[in-house]
Amino acid sequence: MRIKQLEYLEAVIETGSINEAAKRLYLTQPSLSSAIKDLEKEMGITILQRSNAGVRLTADGREFMNYAKQILDQVHLLDDRFKKQQPLHQSFAVSAQHYAFVVNAFVELLKKINAPTYKFTLRETETKNIFNDLRTFKSELGVLFNNFNRRIIDKLLTENGLIFTPLFVAQPHVFLSRYNPLAKRHSIKLDDLTDLPYLSFEQGDNNSFYFSEEIQSTLSHKKEIKVSDRATIFNLMVGLNGYTISSGIISSKLNDDKIVAIPLKLDDPITIGIVHHQHTVISQLGQEYIQLLKNHIRDYGFKIIGEDE
């Protein structure tokens, strides 16, 4: 087994295609395919499942890639330190749905490590991309909610070799502008929202309600706007008196004080949790990040699942 073979495999997984990986690596498709097959033969396992739609890791391939990634990370560190004469840097990546507490914990982690050099990545992304990022080891951790769509989400977790660990359960809240007349109420009913623009995060080609980040996503709305980022959704809450439904955790530090969360009169609890690959051991940075997430969630009065009162 050679390092080059592992680098080739990494490129194939990242692109999802032997042909696209060959272009990136400036190799011919047959030579790259042959190198991967030689690696599979040497290891005595099938690493890639090939189809007309592309390639993906088999169960053995996912486990193999976990070990391979550790080797490649060390090789990259050696290259940075000695070939490029750069100091060793710490690295960490998380992919998540659009939650302010995810960003808060990420900021606190960076402040805590106080490292002279690092490579951190925070991806607020579509739900399906979270699974892809974790399956291909692009991110170490994911954060998403798993409720009405549990059957589909659990199926995807199993198919991608991922584990969901619930963090907390929240009751639904309506996020809207502080200047909206409904913001003065102690609670809101769905009927109160009928004439307001409903805001939700788009899910790309997989814009199915199964991948929605908002509960009650199957309801029809007179006015509906899809957006791709939190900044836009908050701007539309203020500019158009729009609303969305989420956990109730909102950060005044990151989103200023123009947005408020009002309890929704609806029995539809939201379970939000951490996702990681079953063949990975969560790193020290990953563990610290999870702890910061828990601290932040507790600060908002929520109980962490599995912890004593």
What is the average pLDDT value for the chain, to the nearest integer?
85
| SS3 at position 52 | coil
Query: What range does the domain containing 127 cover?
Result: 89-309
Predicted confidence (pLDDT) at residue 218 exceeds the cutoff of 90:
no
Together in a domain, 35 and 115: no
Task: Give me the pLDDT at residue 44, please.
Answer: 93
CA–CA dist 40, 56 (Å, integer): 14
Predicted confidence (pLDDT) at residue 66 exceeds the cutoff of 90:
no
Q: Which of 60, 81, 102 is the last residue of a domain?
A: 81
Predicted confidence (pLDDT) at residue 184 exceeds the cutoff of 80:
yes
Per-residue pLDDT averaged across 108-116, rounded? Answer: 85
| SS3 at position 138 | coil
- The pLDDT-based confidence of 308 (bands split at 50, 70, 90) is low
Higher pLDDT, 114 or 199: 199
Q: Distances from the Cα of 263 to the Cαs of 42, 189, 270, in angstroms?
A: 58, 9, 13
**Predicted TM-score (pTM) above 0.95:** no
CA–CA dist 54, 40 (Å, integer): 17
Together in a domain, 100 and 73: no
Helix (H) / strand (E) element for 233: namely helix 230-240
Predicted confidence (pLDDT) at residue 307 exceeds the cutoff of 90:
no
Residue the block writes with tokens 């939201």: 270
Helix axes 29-43, 18-25, angle to 10 degrees: 110
Task: Give me the pLDDT at residue 270, please.
Answer: 87
Higher pLDDT, 119 or 210: 119
Together in a domain, 114 and 74: no
Together in a domain, 158 and 198: yes
Higher pLDDT, 95 or 307: 95
Per-residue pLDDT averaged across 180-190, rounded? Answer: 92
Helices (H) and strands (E) in the chain, counts: 10, 12
pLDDT digits (tens, 9 = 90+) for 145-181: 877 667 788 888 888 889 999 999 988 899 999 999 9
Together in a domain, 279 and 179: yes
Together in a domain, 214 and 307: yes
CA–CA dist 297, 128 (Å, integer): 24
Give CA 100 to chain center in angstroms.
Answer: 13
Q: Which of 81, 107, 128 is the last residue of a domain?
A: 81
Task: Give me the pLDDT at residue 161, please.
Answer: 87
Higher pLDDT, 90 or 25: 25
Predicted confidence (pLDDT) at residue 245 exceeds the cutoff of 70:
yes
Per-residue pLDDT averaged across 261-275, rounded? Answer: 90
pLDDT digits (tens, 9 = 90+) for 278-301: 888 888 899 999 999 999 899 888
Q: Which of 81, 110, 136 is the last residue of a domain?
A: 81
Together in a domain, 200 and 97: yes
Other C-beta atoms within 10 Å of 264: how many?
23
53-62, 75-84, 146-155, range with the lowest pLDDT: 75-84
Together in a domain, 296 and 154: yes
In sequence order, what are the residues at sequence separation of 6 or more whose Cβ sits closer than 8 angstroms to the Cβ of residue 264?
171, 172, 173, 174, 187, 188, 189, 190, 245
Per-residue pLDDT averaged across 230-242, rounded? Answer: 88
Together in a domain, 276 and 304: yes
Together in a domain, 28 and 177: no
In sequence order, what are the residues at sequence separation of 6 or more whose Cβ sits closer than 8 angstroms to the Cβ of residue 5?
35, 36, 38, 39
3-state helix, strand, coil in the chain (%, to 5): 45, 20, 35
What single-letter DSSP state applies at residue 305?
T
Q: Distances from the Cα of 109 to the Cαs of 95, 103, 119, 207, 305, in angstroms?
A: 15, 10, 12, 32, 22
Task: Give me the pLDDT at residue 91, please.
Answer: 84
User: Could you tell me the CATH number of the domain that includes residue 124?
Assistant: 3.40.190.290
CA–CA dist 159, 142 (Å, integer): 16
Q: What percent of the chain has pLDDT over 90?
A: 38
Domain count, the chain: 2
